């Protein structure tokens, strides 16, 4: 998986450049077995393993869904998962991939894939929690059918911003706006989670479309369990390699012009909800949204 065309065609050159300045190049995403970085968290019998654990499937039935989490906690880095979503009638189901810290004033970075009736498109909802405050939802349609093939979903997180990627396309940027009084995730290590569960009280058309259990089990497939982050204890206040990793370097402190054009393309063609433009919900624009207008 490449991180934007800037991170694609120029990726190897950038690795060499960073290697020359840092002494060690960042890892490119590679296929690694599930068990290297992750463990199941609930309903172990609803996870199936294939090809020596390099691929897994999560299943949801009327009794339970299932999920897994990373073994470690991380402060900053690049985290990705290749997922093939539940095919067919997936209304009411949610496939989630997210990072979250552990306490009540938690930080969280969310991908949530909301299923739909057969023939209707999936909705991808993203959200960012800082210091326990969320309510920063954005929703898009995807420009492909995510049930047909594996696609990569990734997060780049550093002191400057959080970028959500779908394959090589940046779909959302949440910038550090501490100078505007907005908290930013920088001192709470987060674990990585994924789950498949029933949320038919809200997931599809606000809960109007219920899960059709005659279609169960619902199955989502995973591979490419890539983690390149600064591992830290849950009590850490900073990463002891801060400023030394590739994601801290200037090239990764903002999108380049081509990536901004791709982000604007997503905004204009596929965005169906953005809390920053919801004046009924937020008569006064949330302060971090002034940075969002850079797009």
Please list the active-site residues. Answer: 108, 112
Place of tokens 């009736």: 117
**Spatial separation of the C-alpha atoms in residues 169 and 178, rounded to whole Å:** 26
Per the structure block, which two tokens stand in for 173? 């940027």
Residue 70, SS3 per DSSP: strand
Q: Are 152 and 81 in contact (CB under 8 A)?
A: yes
Bridge partners of residue 112, in order along the sequence = 96, 125
Helix (H) and strand (E) counts in the chain: 4, 15
**Spatial separation of the C-alpha atoms in residues 288 and 174, rounded to whole Å:** 8
Bridge partners of residue 114, in order along the sequence = 94, 123
- Angle among Cα 223, 228, 233 to the nearest 5 degrees reads 115
């Amino acid at each position: 998986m490449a991180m934007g065309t800037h991170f694609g065609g120029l990726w190897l050159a950038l690795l060499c450049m960073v290697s020359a300045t840092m002494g060690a190049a960042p890892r490119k995403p590679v296929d690694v077995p599930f068990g290297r970085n992750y463990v199941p968290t609930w309903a172990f019998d609803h996870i199936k393993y294939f090809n020596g654990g390099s691929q897994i499937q999560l299943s949801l039935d009327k009794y339970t869904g299932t999920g897994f989490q990373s073994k470690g906690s991380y402060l900053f880095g690049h985290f990705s998962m290749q997922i093939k979503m539940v095919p067919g009638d997936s209304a009411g189901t949610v496939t989630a991939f997210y990072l979250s810290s552990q306490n009540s004033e938690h930080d969280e970075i969310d991908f949530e894939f909301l299923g739909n009736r057969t023939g209707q498109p999936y909705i991808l909802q993203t959200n960012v929690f800082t210091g326990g405050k969320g309510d920063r939802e954005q929703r898009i349609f995807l420009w492909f059918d995510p049930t047909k093939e594996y696609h990569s979903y990734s997060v780049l997180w550093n002191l400057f911003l959080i970028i959500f990627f779908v394959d090589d396309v940046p779909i959302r940027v949440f910038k550090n706006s501490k100078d505007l009084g907005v908290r930013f995730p920088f001192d709470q290590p987060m674990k990585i989670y994924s789950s498949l569960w029933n949320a038919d009280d809200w997931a599809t058309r606000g809960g109007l479309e219920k899960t059709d259990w005659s279609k169960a089990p619902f199955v989502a497939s995973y591979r490419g369990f890539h983690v390149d982050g600064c591992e830290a204890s849950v009590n850490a206040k900073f990463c002891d390699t801060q400023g030394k990793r590739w994601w801290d370097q200037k090239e990764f402190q903002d999108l380049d012009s081509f990536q901004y054009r791709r982000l604007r393309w997503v905004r204009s063609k596929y965005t169906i909800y953005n809390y920053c433009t919801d004046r009924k919900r937020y008569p006064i624009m949330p302060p971090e949204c002034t940075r969002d207008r850079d797009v």
